[in-house]
Structure 1
Amino acid sequence: MLNRLLRPAALLASAGAITVLATACGGGSPAASGDAPAYPALASSATCSQLRTQNPDLAGKTLTNAINPHTPGYESISVSDPTKYEGFDIDLGEAIGECLGFKVNYLPVAFDALLPTLQSGQADFIISDIYATEERAASADFITYSKVNDGVLVAAGNPKQLTGIDDSLCGTTTALNKGFVEVPLVEAQSAKCLAAGRPPAQTALFDNNADCVQAILSGRADSYINDVNTVARFVKDQPDKLARATAVTLPYSIGIAVPQGQLPIRNAFTAALTEIQNSGLQTQLSQKWALDESAIEAPSLITAS
């Protein structure tokens, strides 16, 4: 599903209620009220019908998803229509909205601003290929839906012969998004390099994936580490210039972030996500967006408590 690229103009809040956002452009939410659902079988399922009845504070509202729209396959600006977003995470959020009865609006921010945006109340949830870690759970509650498998993107031919987050990174520069979980992993490897009398493993930090990849293409970085499907997509787009060196298994899951302690929205999203998985829709969306190495995980919670 493609969605209009809209920014919220005002935050409407009431005590004990889930925040909803109005849009700056006349016409309201990305999908006009009354539009036929993109996933009619899901929307009309007994489970989703019951969830809408149980969650009247969500039905008919517009919620904002904070995204970093620079990850092709997950969330990015449509090449064919730059006024729209597209990708697995966009479709997943829309499917949850259809199950629970709300529309989705989008707020694009830098990756390291995702959680602060949610905490400030400018967004109601985050579905943006964000890894659910205990450290991040200090800022939000997470509902997991997929296992993490990273890939290492390098220049074609892998000139530095990189083999993962290991000694091969000594003396090289890794491009990473600010706030990525891989940043401290590379920094820890750098300490090991120095302890062994070798040059450090350096990082170059950027606001989005596209800038990380450009750093490799321009020779300012030797590698970039991220979700393996994201890496594969960049290689597919420029096979003469880029390659995947290896895959790295990390002990994390990808999750949906919701405000801490707001049990109604957390429970509703968990139930809707469970129905989406049970219906086979998450698998269909993964196939649609060529996320060939996705590993669906039954929803579980990662919270600070």
Structure 2
Amino acid sequence: MLPTKSPRTVVLATGAVAALLAVSACTSTSSASDDAGEATYADLAGSAACVELREKNPDLVGTTKTNALNPHTPGYEVVNPENPDEYMGFDIDLGDAIGDCLGFDVDYLPVGFAELVPTVASGQADWIVSNLYATEERANGGVDFISYSKVFDGILVTTGNPKGITGIDTSLCGTTVALNKGYVEVPLVEAMGPECEAEGLVAPTVSLFDSSADCVQAILAGRADAYMNDINTVKGYIAEHPDELDSAETVMLDYEIGIGVLQGDHEFRDAVQAALVEIQESGLQAELATKWKLDENALAEPTILSVG
């Protein structure tokens, strides 16, 4: 067990340039946690690779790195329902593991999904570990990405799939699709409009929300026909509403999930990449995926996407 770390501070914000609204103690939670509720990974931290990484990156040791996150994705990052001062999920534990390997602590800045990249680009946070798909468009916003997982999208519908949705295709014609603001699926769904119209059908309507939970509520209330997100997230919502929700399809998207860091901060970026390599080779990432029931979580080699 590593030495107990101090509780983490969470800064609440409404946007990338929003004023600070409140500060309160907040931690992550894990089955391997210290007195602060924070996940610790002593075996990883004591590995030869991590010891060497700390020696190579002494400026990271003893610091605190602020994670901009959108804590509304079950299995990945949510507020602990038993303690509103804690976050829990795969990405929370992964961030803890990286921090333990490199010798730094983690605190959080919760923001809207569309504000994740601007928050880091503006210097309000140091990194993003929040189930964010790594794309060139997002990288152009001022961050570099280090990939760690492949992307399998699920399509959430009501039980029985009454609209007969089969994927991101013309089966979406005439439907309303609930999506988070800033999701990569937004332009993919919108691109179906001309194809629908070419067949004499109505283009799909995209209804935008600030969180996954709001999207799901739109489906439950009959205000949307479908919602798209990581397949594990979709399965999680089905488990919560087994009599009301179902999965229409799984779609392999040409993206990877990545950790975002400020463009130009190569020391931090490269150290995170090296820590991820060790975490994957040790089997810890697979263990965390199993712990959080991310059955469709497939490792992606930690590679860097940079447009800078």
TM-score (norm 1): 0.90
The one-letter code matched in structure 1 to 2:292 is W
Structure 2 CA distance for partners of 1:34 and 1:46, relative to 1, 3 Å = farther
* SS, match of residue 174 in structure 2: coil
How many Å apart are 1:298 and its aligned residue? 1.2
* Cα offsets for 1:101-142 (capped at 9, x unmatched): 000001100000000100111100001000001111112100
User: In structure 2, the residue corresponding to 1:135 is in which secondary structure?
Assistant: helix
| Counterpart position of 1:259 | 262
Taking the aligned partners of 1:107 and 1:34, their CA distance within structure 2 comes to 18
Confirm or deny: 8 A CA contact 1:75 1:128 kept in the other structure: yes
Deviation string 1:286-305 (CA, Å, 9 cap, x unpaired) is 00000001111110111115
Q: Distance in 1 between matches of 2:255 and 2:235?
A: 19
Letter in 1 for 2:185: E
**8 Å contact 2:76–2:90 — kept in the other structure?**
yes
User: Which residue of 1 is the match for residue 199 of structure 2?
Assistant: 196
1:88–1:289 Cα contact (<8 Å) kept: yes
Q: RMSD of the TM alignment (CA)?
A: 2.2
Q: Please state how far the C-alpha of 1:262 moved relative to its aligned partner.
A: 1.1
CA drift of 1:191 comes to 2.1
TM superposition shift of 1:261: 1.5
Distance (Å, rounded) in 2 between the aligned partners of 1:35 and 1:208: 26
SS of residue in 2 equivalent to 1:165: coil
Task: Give how far 1:5 is off.
Answer: 7.0
Letter in 1 for 2:153: D
Q: Which runs of 5+ in 2 are unaligned?
A: 1-5, 13-21
Contact 2:10–2:26 (8 Å) recurs in 1: no
For 1:124, the aligned partner's letter is D
Q: Which amino acid aligns with 2:249?
A: T
Aligned partners of 1:37 and 1:98 also within 8 Å: no
TM-score scaled to structure 2, two decimals? 0.89
State yes or no: 1:107 paired with 2:122. no
Report the CA distance between 1:196 and its aligned residue: 2.0
Verify: 1:206 aligned to 2:213, yes or no: no
Taking a change above 3 Å as real, the CA distance of residues 261 and 67 of structure 1, as seen in their structure-2 partners, is same
Quick one: which of 275, 280, 296 aligns to 1:277?
280
Q: How many angstroms apart in 2 are the aligned matches of 1:203 and 1:258?
A: 30
- Mapped to 1, the partners of 2:192 and 2:51 lie a distance apart of 50
* Structure 1: runs of 5+ lacking an equivalent: 10-22
Q: Is the 8 A contact 2:26 2:86 kept in 1?
A: no
Decide whether the 8 Å contact of 1:111 with 1:179 is kept in 2. yes
Partner of 1:41: 43
Larger mean Cα displacement after TM superposition, 193-202 or 146-155? 193-202
Moved more, 186-195 or 148-157: 186-195
Which among 74, 78, 83 is matched to residue 81 of structure 1? 83
Amino acid corresponding to residue 251 of structure 2 in structure 1: V
1:94 corresponds to which residue? Answer: 96
Letter in 1 for 2:126: D
| Residues 170-189 of structure 1 mapped to structure 2, 5 A cutoff | 170-189=173-192
Q: Which residue of 2 aligns with 1:20?
A: none
Aligned CA distance change for structure 1 residues 249 and 35 (closer, same or farther; 3 Å): closer
What is the SS of the residue equivalent to 2:239? helix
Give distance in 2, aligned partners of 1:201 and 1:243: 20
